[in-house]
Amino acid sequence: MSNFTKSNLLGISGCRYFWLAVALLMLALEGGALYFQHVKYFYPCELCIYVRVWVAALFLLALLALVAKRWWWGRILCATTGLALSIGLAVETWNLIKVEYAIGDGGACGFKANFPAWAPLDSWLPWMFEVQDMCQATPPVFLGLTMAHCLAVVSFALIVLFLVALFGSLRKNKA
């Protein structure tokens, strides 16, 4: 990898296109989930709703980062938060995969999401965050891959990208 490319890659946390791409990817994931719910009638379970919350948080972070990327502390904070949110998304995705392959308990799965009293998302936005089904295998979405498989790929890619962004932000701060 040439120095020019490596430098560009390490500087992604300061790049507006990186954050726009994250925002658009999260918007596409949420749109896809809503399409499967409201058009294809694959209703979301408790774990699916938690995935939607992680994705929505990443979307909001990407919007915030479009402003905060101007300052080195903003880039570090956004990259760190993005990494934490991506890990949370990966953990919830792992719970979906455990349900899909009947590995262990697959995490908690009830017919109501456990949102805190100060943020009852299922009451505020029921069309997006209301549990409507029990946990089961996720539907196939692309080339035989299920939603859980696609989320696993996206989670892994996001973790790698946010690690690179964080490393690049910390490295540029030292220079």
Cβ-based burial of 5 (10 A; exposed 0-12, middle 13-18, buried ≥19): exposed
Domain housing 89: 3-174
Compute the mean pLDDT over every residue in the chain, rounded to the nearest whole number: 89
Q: How many Å apart are CA 128 and CA 92, to the nearest integer? A: 17
| CATH number reported for the structural domain that contains residue 77 in this entry | 1.20.1550.10
Phi-psi region of 135 (alpha: psi -120 to 50; beta: other; left: phi over 0): beta
Domain count, the chain: 1
CB 92 within 8 A of CB 114: no
Q: How many Å apart are CA 129 and CA 123, to the nearest integer? A: 8
Tell me what pLDDT residue 14 has: 82
- Which comes out higher in pLDDT, residue 25 or 173? 25
Tens digit of pLDDT for each residue in 35-62?
999 999 999 999 999 999 999 999 999 9
3-state secondary structure the chain: CCHHHHHHHHCHHHCHHHHHHHHHHHHHHHHHHHHHHHCCCCCCCHHHHHHHHHHHHHHHHHHHHHHHCCCHHHHHHHHHHHHHHHHHHHHHHHHHHHHHCCCCCCCCCCCCCCCCCCCCHHHHCHHHHCCCCCCCCCCEEECCEEHHHHHHHHHHHHHHHHHHHHHHHHHHHHC
Amino acid at 67: V
Tens digit of pLDDT for each residue in 97-130?
998 888 876 556 788 888 999 999 999 999 999 9
